[in-house]
Every structure is written in C-alpha cells, then in structure tokens.
C-alpha cells in the first residue's frame, strides 16, 4: 500500500461532519484533534481562518507509550495510564471549549502493540473517544498534507519522525505522491543489536529500500516531528539564530552536519540547557540525529525546512475543497485578523490599492507581503501608543502564520513597526536585522510610512482616496486627493506624506 489515496471521506471522514460548509468558507468552526503518538499525546483545538487555522488551544503530555515495545510487544504500562489520564482531561476540556466531538488519531505504537485494540477499547469505555488507528502510509500522507497546509504548491520530501516510526512522503506541485513508513523511530532503534554500527547499517538498509521506491528526491526536505524540531532548536542555539520560531526555519546540509556532530560530542544536559529542549525529548535526540545524518546522505536535499504542521493540520487539509486549498494561507490569516480586530475591516484593501503605484516595480512575492501588511495595519490599535510599534513587530514575527519565510516574517514586522514609528533604532528589530538586507530595510520603511500616511485618510472600506503617482526617475511623489478625502489632508497627514516622500528620496507634490 503506497498511501496515495485520500483518507478523508466526503461525509467528513474521521470528523463525522463536514468542516467547511462551502468552498467559499472564510472561517472555521472550532474543532479539536488529538494525536496519540508513540512518545506524546497532544490536543490541538483549531479556530480562525478556514484556510489558515490558528491554535486556539495546544497541550502536550509526554507519555512514551512506545517505550520498551520492541522487547515486550506491548504498550508501556506507565505510559498507557498517563495517556488515558491525558485523554480523559482532553475530552473534558473539549466539551468546555465547544469543539464538537474530538477526532482522536493513534499512530505507530498503538497500531503495532499487541494490546493496542484493548487500549482502544479502554479509551472508549473511560472517555467515550473512539481512536482512529492509522497505518504507516496514512500517517505519511497526513503529515504531507499538513506541510501543504502551510506551503501550497510545495515540491520535495516530507520526513516525519515519531517515537516508533519514521515516514516519508513525496510532494510535487501541491500533490502528495508515494507514501512510505519505516521502523526508524528512536524507541525501536534503541533495541537494534550491534550498537551504533549495527544501527547505522540498519538505517542505511531501510533508507536504501525507501529510496528505491521513491526515486530521486533532491528538492527540499521538510522535517516534521518533535525530535526533528528539537534538533532544529539545537541548530538555532549553535548558530545563535535571532528568531525562535521553528516553522519555516531553514538549514543547509552543512548546518545539520555541524549540529549532528555537536549532538554526538556534547553532554545531553548541556544541550538541553543551551537549547531549551525538554529532558524527555533530549533523550531521543542522539538516535534521531543518527537517522537524520543517513537521510541527508541518501537523498541529498537542496535545503531543509522545519514544519510545525503535521498530522493534525493534515486532517484539516484533507477536508478542504480544492478551491479553499488554492487560497494563500498568509493572506487568508491576515484577512481574518483584520475582520476580527481592525477598527475598519476592509480598509486594508483600500490602502493596498491606493499605495500600488509606489510598489509597481516590486516582484509578486514582495507585493504579497505588502498586501499582508496592509491587512494587518490596524489590528493592534488596542495596544498602548507607546508600545504599539513593538507589539506589531512581535505579532508579525511570532504569530502562527503559514507561507512565510523567516526573512519575510521580519520584513512584515518591520513594515508594521514603521506603520507606527518613524525610527527603528533600539527596537526589537535590532536583534533580527541580520535576516534582512539594507534594501529590505529601506523597502519596509517605505511601506510602513506609506501605510502611516494612508491611514490618515480614513473614510470607509469602499472609499475613493484619490491617486498616488510615483515618478522614480524624476524622484517626484504626487498626491491627487479625491473631493471626499481632501478635507482629511490636515497638518499631520501632510507631515506623514512628506515623511513618505523623504523615505523615497523624492519631492512631494499635492494636487
């Protein structure tokens, strides 16, 4: 079985109900998903934009259900009790949060354990929850769908590691291809005979067989799973990386080889204190690092990216109509935030179109981030004026947003910082300035000051503000105000318009 079918059913599949009433849905009704893994049991409650769901609630218990299973064939007894207690808690929480029935998915440990069916029965007796036990290829597919939720149109190889298994799935042009599962999880590797040499031979044989089915996979490698994220945190600490967001964190093969060497030569307690990785997770990192080294040698990816999205997000993606999947997750999340929090929902679109002449020479990727900035330009108005610029910057750089490289996060944050502040000296941006070029910083300042000026012409979401004309060769910025907007062009608006022209190195003219 290669897992190329879509596990979601038209009637809602494991959810038992359609999550999206129509392909044009903008908002998601609150929904809860529990992932019963070999190492952790996690509840995530999603809410917010339909195409880019946010984490309304997120809780994880490290139960280690799969620990020792290679020897006993059964779930870890202590882990089993902890998992049952966690599921009882999660079921009660979900009722309080009005999620509807929880969808509860179990992976390698439960599907492989001889007492797995008995565990499922006990879960249902004690909590009323029915575990959906998925096979390896289904697990690989759901992880790949989770990646596609954040990276539409992706090309590459999705690699998801859990406690008892490791899955690979090819993605191409936004579609999931061949899906494979293996026993390369740290719990099972710990019981391989022959020590490190024996493990290395076993890992190589397994990956060679998987590569024979997958073929060449030299595009991006997407890493999904707690052990990979722990290694990424260690890489961040080693590189003194300025942004702590794991999603879309990029690494090269050379980066990872250096970090794997650090893991091999450093005491686990030291690694834990430097990186902030939990003690239960750090215990699995050395074995996971052995697997990752061989994955790099086998597939030689162009680059490596961490995905915080996996099985849980993949379940949602599997229910989305194609029209919804085709939307931009970043723009959808920003549009939802505007309609929820801005004082004048819809005015961001007016500002974006009004400012277009300034940005007509920019490429589509940069204009996309500017569009997001315009949608978010007023969502932090409740913050105290003295801190509004920094609140905007923090929200953009740390928010749960898909479809954003780290440099784009910082660019978006700097645009919004300049929406409320003329200067960026001694701001939170200083620590992250290495992620942008001087040209990026200048462009973000222009965008921010443009929004700062345009927000003064506040009318309504379908307002006609007038017209901006930008003549880059002549260095002239011309403003032609509409009759309804002209009375709004007071002293402060004029000062902001001239500040925008100054940032462009241009002469300001008004008609």
Residues 6+ apart with CB under 8 A from 60: 40, 41, 42, 43
- b (16+ CB within 10 A) / e for 151-169: bbebebbbbbbbbbbbbbb
Residue 71: exposure state from Cβ atoms within 10 A (0-12, 13-18, ≥19) = exposed
Does 300 lie in the same domain as 210?
yes
Q: Does residue 172 lie in a domain region?
A: yes
Does 348 lie in the same domain as 306?
no
Dist CA 243 CA 278 (whole Å): 19
DSSP track, 301-327? -S-EEE-S--HHHHHHHHHS-HHHHTS
What CATH number is associated with residue 408?
1.10.3210.10
Task: Compute CA distances 467 → 105, 352, 415, 496, whole Å.
Answer: 54, 12, 21, 16
Domain ends where: 461, 476, 492?
A: 461
In the chain, the number of structural domains is 3
Does 306 lie in the same domain as 430?
no
Dist CA 379 CA 394 (whole Å): 13
- Residue 279's SS3 state is helix
- Residue 62's SS3 state is strand
Backbone angles phi and psi of 380, in degrees to 5: -105, 25
Q: Does residue 497 lie in a domain region?
A: no
Does 209 lie in the same domain as 114?
no
Does 256 lie in the same domain as 338?
no
DSSP code at position 439: H
Q: Does residue 166 lie in a domain region?
A: yes
Q: Does residue 232 lie in a domain region?
A: yes
Does 41 lie in the same domain as 129?
yes
Domain with 277, as residue range(s), is: 137-312
Ramachandran sector of residue 24 (left: φ over 0; alpha: ψ -120 to 50; beta: rest) = alpha
CA dihedral 315, 319, 323, 328 (to 10 degrees): -20
Q: Does residue 272 lie in a domain region?
A: yes
Q: Does residue 353 lie in a domain region?
A: yes
Does 225 lie in the same domain as 191?
yes
Tokens of 260: 């794997």
What CATH number is associated with residue 288?
3.30.420.150
- Residue 369: count of CB within 10 angstroms of its CB: 25
Q: What is the pLDDT of residue 1?
A: 34
Dist CA 41 CA 341 (whole Å): 33
DSSP track, 80-128? HHHHHHHHHHHHHHHHHTT--SPEEEE-HHHHHSTTHHHHHHHHHHHH-
Nearest-5° angle of CA 101, CA 103, CA 104?
130
Domain ends where: 134, 155, 180?
A: 134
Does 213 lie in the same domain as 111?
no
Residues 6+ apart with CB under 8 A from 243: 397, 406, 409, 410, 432, 435
Q: What is the pLDDT of residue 400?
A: 83
Task: Compute CA distances 159 → 120, 141, 168, whole Å.
Answer: 27, 11, 5
Q: What is the pLDDT of residue 7?
A: 43
Give the closest residue to 142 by CA, choosing from 17, 1, 318: 318
Q: Does residue 441 lie in a domain region?
A: yes
Does 154 lie in the same domain as 100?
no
Tokens of 230: 């722990």
Residues 6+ apart with CB under 8 A from 412: 369, 372, 373, 376, 396, 397, 404
Does 433 lie in the same domain as 384?
yes
Tokens of 254: 């050379």
Domain ends where: 107, 134, 161?
A: 134
Q: Does residue 105 lie in a domain region?
A: yes
Tokens of 360: 């007509």
Strands 53-62 and 40-49, sheet pairing: antiparallel
- Residue by residue, pLDDT tens for the chain (511 residues) are 344 445 444 455 677 777 877 777 788 889 999 999 999 999 999 999 889 999 999 999 999 999 999 899 999 999 999 999 999 999 999 999 999 899 999 999 999 999 999 999 999 999 999 999 999 999 999 999 999 999 988 999 999 999 999 999 999 988 999 999 999 999 999 989 999 999 999 999 999 999 999 998 989 999 999 999 999 999 999 999 999 999 999 999 999 999 999 999 999 999 999 999 999 899 999 999 999 999 999 999 999 999 999 999 999 999 999 999 999 999 999 999 999 999 999 999 999 999 999 999 999 999 999 999 999 999 999 999 999 999 999 999 998 888 899 999 999 999 999 999 988 988 889 999 999 999 999 999 999 999 999 999 887 777 788 899 999 999 999 999 988 888 999 999 999 999 999 999 999 999 8
Q: What is the pLDDT of residue 12?
A: 58
Does 343 lie in the same domain as 362?
yes
Its pTM stands at: 0.92
Does 307 lie in the same domain as 446?
no
Nearest-5° angle of CA 172, CA 178, CA 181?
130
Q: What is the pLDDT of residue 191?
A: 87
What CATH number is associated with residue 125?
3.30.420.40
């Amino acid at each position: 079985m290669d897992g190329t079918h879509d596990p979601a059913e038209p009637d809602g599949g494991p959810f038992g109900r359609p999550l999206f009433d129509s392909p044009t849905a903008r908002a998601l009704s609150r929904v809860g998903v529990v992932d019963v893994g070999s190492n952790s049991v996690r509840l995530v409650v999603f809410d917010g934009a339909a195409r880019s769901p946010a984490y309304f609630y997120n809780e994880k218990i490290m139960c280690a259900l799969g620990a020792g299973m290679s020897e006993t064939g059964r779930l870890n007894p202590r882990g089993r009790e902890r998992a049952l207690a966690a599921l009882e808690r999660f079921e009660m929480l979900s009722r309080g949060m009005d999620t509807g029935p929880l969808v509860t998915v179990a992976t390698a440990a439960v599907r492989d354990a001889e007492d797995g069916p008995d565990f499922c029965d006990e879960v249902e007796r004690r909590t009323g929850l029915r575990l959906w036990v998925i096979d390896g290829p289904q697990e690989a597919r759901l992880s790949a769908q989770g990646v596609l939720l954040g990276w539409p149109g992706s090309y590459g190889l999705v690699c998801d590691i859990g406690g008892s298994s490791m899955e690979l799935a090819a993605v191409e042009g936004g579609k999931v291809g061949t899906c494979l599962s293996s026993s390369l999880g740290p719990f099972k590797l710990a019981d391989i005979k022959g020590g490190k040499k024996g493990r290395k031979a076993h890992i190589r044989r397994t990956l060679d067989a998987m590569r024979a089915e997958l073929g060449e996979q030299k595009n991006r490698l997407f890493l999904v799973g707690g052990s990979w994220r722990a290694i990424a945190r260690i890489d961040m600490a080693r590189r003194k990386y300025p942004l702590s967001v794991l999603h879309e964190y990029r690494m090269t093969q050379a980066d990872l080889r250096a970090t794997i060497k650090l893991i091999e030569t450093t005491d686990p307690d030291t690694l834990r204190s430097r990186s902030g990785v939990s003690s239960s997770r750090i215990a699995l990192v050395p074995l996971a690092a052995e697997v990752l080294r061989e994955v790099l040698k086998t597939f030689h990816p162009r680059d490596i990216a961490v995905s915080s999205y996996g099985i849980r997000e993949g379940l949602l993606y599997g229910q989305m109509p194609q029209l919804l999947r085709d939307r931009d997750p970043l723009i959808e999340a920003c549009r939802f935030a505007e309609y929820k929090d801005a004082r004048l929902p819809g005015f961001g679109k007016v500002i974006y179109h009004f400012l277009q002449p300034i940005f007509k020479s920019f490429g589509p990727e940069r204009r996309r981030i500017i569009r997001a900035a315009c949608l978010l330009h007023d969502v932090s108005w409740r913050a105290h004026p003295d801190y509004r610029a920094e609140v905007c910057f923090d929200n953009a750089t740390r928010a749960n947003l898909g479809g954003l490289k780290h440099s784009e996060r910082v660019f978006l944050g700097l645009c919004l910082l300049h929406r409320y502040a003329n200067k960026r000296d001694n701001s939170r941006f200083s620590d992250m300035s290495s992620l942008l070029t001087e040209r990026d910083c200048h462009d973000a300042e222009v965008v921010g000051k443009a929004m700062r000026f345009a927000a003064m012409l506040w009318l309504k979401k379908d307002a006609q503000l007038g017209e901006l004309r930008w003549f880059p060769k002549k260095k002239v910025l011309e403003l032609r105000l509409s009759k309804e907007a002209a009375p709004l062009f007071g002293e402060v608006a004029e000062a902001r318009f001239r500040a925008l022209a100054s940032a462009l190195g241009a002469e300001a003219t008004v008609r």
